[in-house]
Structure 1
Amino acid sequence: MSSLTLALLMVGVVLATACLGSPLIRAAAPTLMRFPRLAVISLGASLMLWMASVIAAGLFLAWSLTGPSPLPEPMAEVCRRCLDASNPFSSGMAAESAVPSVVFLAAPALAVAVVAAVGLRSVLTRRRRLRGTCRSLLPSGRRETIGGRTVTVVADPQPSAFALGRGCGIVVSTGLLEALSAPEAEAVVEHEAAHVRERHHLILDVIESLTGPLRWIPFAAAIADSVPHYLEISADRAAQRRVGTRPLASALLTMGQDSHERRSAARHLGPDRMMLASGPERVRQLVRPADPRRGALGAAAIVALMTVLIVTSSAAHGAALAAVLSGCVL
C-alpha cells in the first residue's frame, strides 16, 4: 500500500468521524446515560483526539505529496528535511502535487489554532458574564441554609435553581421554595451542589470553547449537545444518592412545568447552568434507567473509530516529534 493511499485513508477516517460521529453518539446514548461521568470524559477526549487527527492527516498528506514550495530556499530546505526525517514511509514514494507540501502542514494547524483562539475568547466572555451575574444577584438575595448547604435566595416567582460555580455558589428563587416541599428543595440544592463540587462549569467551558467554532461539523455539534445532558444526569445521580429518588423526581416534574422559561434564562446567563430538561425524561432516567445494552453497538463503533484515530494520530505526531527532538531543524 502506497503512502498516498494511507494518507487518503487517514483523511477518509477523519471525514467519516466528522459525519458519522453524530448518529453514533445518539445510538450509544443508552450506554452513555448509565455512565454519565465516563461519557463526558470520553466525548471530550474524542473531540480533542479528532482535532489532533486533523493535524495528523495533514502530516500524512505532506509526507505523501511533493510540490512547489512557497518558502524561501533555505526555509524550504529545512522544511523538506524535517518532513523527510519524520516520514515513517519509504523514501521516494511521494507523489507530485501542484499544492505545496507546507499547505498540508500549515492549514490544519492554523485551523486548530483559530478554533483555540475563538474558544478562549468565548471562555473569557462567559467568565465576565458570570462575574456580572454574581455581582447583580448575590447582593440582592438573602443567605439561607437548605439541607445543610448555604444558598442565596433571590426574589423570583419562577421556580428555578442554578449553580454559579465555586466562587458564587448556589442560587434558588423564592418561587422554588414556594412550589417545592422541604425534601424536594433539598434534592434540588443537592443537584446544584454536585455541579459545583464536580466543577461542571469548567467542563462546559472547555467543551463549549472547542465546539463553538465547530458547530457546523455534526460530530462536534453532537458532543456540544450531549455533554450538558450527561452532566445533568451525573448531578441527578449524586442528588439521588444523598436524598433518594422520590423527592428529586417530584421536584423535576414540578420544575418541568416551566422548563422553557428556565432554558431561556440559562442561555442568557451563559455559563450558569440551571436544572435543564426537567420533567418526564429526567425522571425516567432516575426511576427506570435505559438498558445499556441497547447502546452497546453504537458505543463499540465509537470506540473502534477512536482506536483508529489514536493509532494513526500517535504514529504521525510521534514520528514528527521524534524527528524534531533528533535535531532535524538544525
Structure 2
Amino acid sequence: MSSSKTAPKPNTDDYKLKDTKPELGEKWPHGGQRGGTGWIYSERATSTYDLVEQMFYLYVRVVKAKELPPNPVTGNVDPYVEVKVGNYKGKTRHFEKKTNPEWKQVFAFSKEKIQSSIVEVFVRDKEMVARDDYIGKVEFDMHEVPTRVPPDSPLAPQWYRLENLRGETRTRGEVMLAVWMGTQADEAFPEAWHSDSASVKGEGVYNIRSKVYVNPKLWYLRVNVIEAQDVESHDKTQPPQVFVKAQVGQQVLKTKLCPTKTPNPMWNEDLVFVAAEPFEENLVLTVENKASPGKDEVVAKLTLPLNKFETRMDHRPVHSRWYNVERFGFGVLEGDK
C-alpha cells in the first residue's frame, strides 16, 4: 500500500503588485504630538533629506543684544554670548566696548546627545573676573521649544529681558534669540556651530561649521570631444584607431571608437558629467588606441582642473580650443558648465 500527498498550491498573492507606504521621511522628535503615528505627512515634494535618517537638532540663533550695562570696574563692556545645554557650550565672538552688539550666529545641538531639560543663554563680559559672573541670562524649557521643519516658515527671533544672578531684570539689557527644534534639512544647519565640535577650545570655536548632509550646488559639465591630431600608437608601423575616455571623480565616459585607423581622428561627441561646487576635482582625458580586440593602450593624457572652465547660465556659444597632451599629439575639446 502506498500513499501520496498533494503538493500545496503556491499563494498567487505573493506575486502580485502591492501598494506599500513605507515610512520614509521625517518624524516628529517627541513621537507623534502632531499626528497619530509620529510621522510627518504633507503635500510637499519629497526632498533629498527624506532619503536619509532624520537627525534632530536644537537650534539657538543669537542675533543681537541692546542696552547692556557697563562693567562698574572698567566702565565698558566686552560682550559675548554663551549657549549652554547640559555639558555642551557654544560661544559667539566677543566685541570690544560695545553695549549693542550684533552676532547673527547659530548653534546646533544634537538632540540624541542632550542630557538636560534646560537651555541657558548667558550674555557675558570678557573682562569679568569672577568665573560664574555674567551680565544676564535667559532660560528655556526644552519641552516648550517649538518644532519647525521645512517648508515651515523660519522661526522669527524675539527680544528677551536678561536676568541677573538673583533673577532680576532691572537694568540688565535685552537679547534677541530664536530657539527651535529642527532637522538637518533646516536652512540654518550649514552655517551652524555644531555641538560635535565642542571639544574645540578658544575664540576659534565659533568658526566651526557643520558639514553633514549639506546639499551641494550641482552643475552639468559638458565636454565636446571634437578631434585630435598627430596621434601615434606604440607600434609605429600601424596607424592608431583611437577613442577618448573622460573621467570626473568616479564618473567615466567614453567616445565611440574612431571608425578608421588614422593619426587625425574625429569624433565631435558630447560627454556630460555632473560636477559639484567648489569644483575641486579634475577632468582627466586619455586618448586610447585599440591595439587588439582585448587590449587598449593609452597614447596621450590630459588633466584639466574643473575650476578653470567657464560657467554659464545661458546658451551663448563656448569657443573650442586646442590642448597639448602629456605624451604626444594634440587634442581639441570644448568644456563648459
TM-score by shorter chain over 0.5 = no
Relative contact order: is structure 1 or structure 2 higher (C-alpha 8 Å, sep ≥ 6)?
Answer: 1
Higher helix share: 1
What is the TM-score with the length of structure 1 in the denominator? 0.22
Higher strand share: 2
Larger Rg: 2
